[in-house]
Amino acid sequence: MRKLLLVLLMFVTACVQAESTVLITGSNRGIGLGLVKEYAAHGWRVIATCRSPESAQELQMLAQANNRIIIEALDVTDPAAITALAEKYKKQPIDVLINNAGLLPVDEWNKPLKEMDFDYARKVFDVNTFGPVRIMQAFMDHVAASGEKKIINISSQAGSFANSSHEPKRYVYRGSKAALNMFTFDIAHELGQLGITTIALHPGVVHSQTDESFEEAKQRFPGLITVAESAAKIYQTVAGLTPADNGKFFSYEPGVQMPW
């Protein structure tokens, strides 16, 4: 009898998972690609969006091997493309929406105020801050119509005021993530009334830039983690969210809240 119940429970769990859908932005490489693999491994339907599907080779290979991964072209700074995609999926509930796409302006880091490039700064804010806001606006109804109703804005500890480090001078990146944190905190209040749980999430210090080996990079960043570890822990953290977590800032480590 117990065996039968267990099998039944596994079947029900599989059915529930089979119906769950996640939409991820910036999913052709780095943490976004790691999240595609993680959610697909758990049986989710994945709408994997990226700027240039034609050059997203690893993502294309994953989608060829798994028909539950659907690739869609999406630049998070293109309002018309966002509206068109939201319209295409208007009957598709989206359980988890992950705003992952981001610009890490490494070339700009360490530049003093007098050298700030405002054209570039605007571009970074357009992707890192307004991108997630546009996507939330376009897909909030899809999320509200789902079972899980979760929106995850991938932020960074770099956007936390409580992170008192002043080195290096990442003004633009830190500003864009701090602004995203405030949008998340405030918009969560409105979306909470639709039953949606919206959070900001720090994914860890992640080895996503592959021009240097993990071991080499870890010497400079002792807390460095792999994309796979980040994605696996983000999955667990998101799975454990409840409506009581709405409007909060979390680490990728399950159960660890970040100070704003």
Ligand X SMILES: NC(=O)c1ccc[n+]([C@@H]2O[C@H](COP(=O)([O-])OP(=O)(O)OC[C@H]3O[C@@H](n4cnc5c(N)ncnc54)[C@H](OP(=O)(O)O)[C@@H]3O)[C@@H](O)[C@H]2O)c1
- Rounded to the nearest 10 degrees, the angle between the axes of helix 171-192 and helix 118-125 is 30
Q: Which is nearer to ligand X, 150 or 203 (CB)?
A: 203
Q: Which is nearer to ligand X, 11 or 221 (CB)?
A: 221
> Which residue reads 């240097």 in tokens?
212
Q: Which is nearer to ligand X, 145 or 217 (CB)?
A: 217
Most distant pair of Cα atoms in the chain: their distance:
73
Could you tell me the two tokens for 163? Answer: 């992170």
Q: Which is nearer to ligand X, 43 or 226 (CB)?
A: 226
Could you tell me the two tokens for 89? Answer: 């999926």
Count of Cβ atoms closer than 10 Å to residue 214 Cβ: 12
The least CB distance from residue 119 to ligand X, in Å, is 15
Could you tell me the two tokens for 53? Answer: 């599907």
> Which residue reads 């018309």 in tokens?
80
Residues found near ligand X in the complex (CB under 6 A): 25-26, 28-32, 50-52, 75-77, 100-104, 127, 154, 156, 202-203, 205-206, 208
What's the distance, Cα to Cα, between the start and end of the chain in Å?
Answer: 50
The least CB distance from residue 9 to ligand X, in Å, is 35
Contacts of the segment 84-88: beta carbons below 8 A, 24+ positions apart: 85/49, 85/138, 86/138, 86/139, 86/142
The least CB distance from residue 154 to ligand X, in Å, is 4
Amino acid type, 84: A
Q: Which is nearer to ligand X, 225 or 241 (CB)?
A: 225
Amino acid type, 252: Y
The least CB distance from residue 33 to ligand X, in Å, is 7
The least CB distance from residue 39 to ligand X, in Å, is 15
- In angstroms, the CA 197 to CA 181 distance is 14
Q: Which is nearer to ligand X, 43 or 175 (CB)?
A: 175
Q: Which is nearer to ligand X, 143 or 227 (CB)?
A: 227
The least CB distance from residue 210 to ligand X, in Å, is 8
The least CB distance from residue 93 to ligand X, in Å, is 23
* CA 147, 200, 44, 127 torsion-angle sign: positive
Q: How far is CA 55 from CA 60, 61, 138, 229, in A?
A: 9, 11, 26, 25
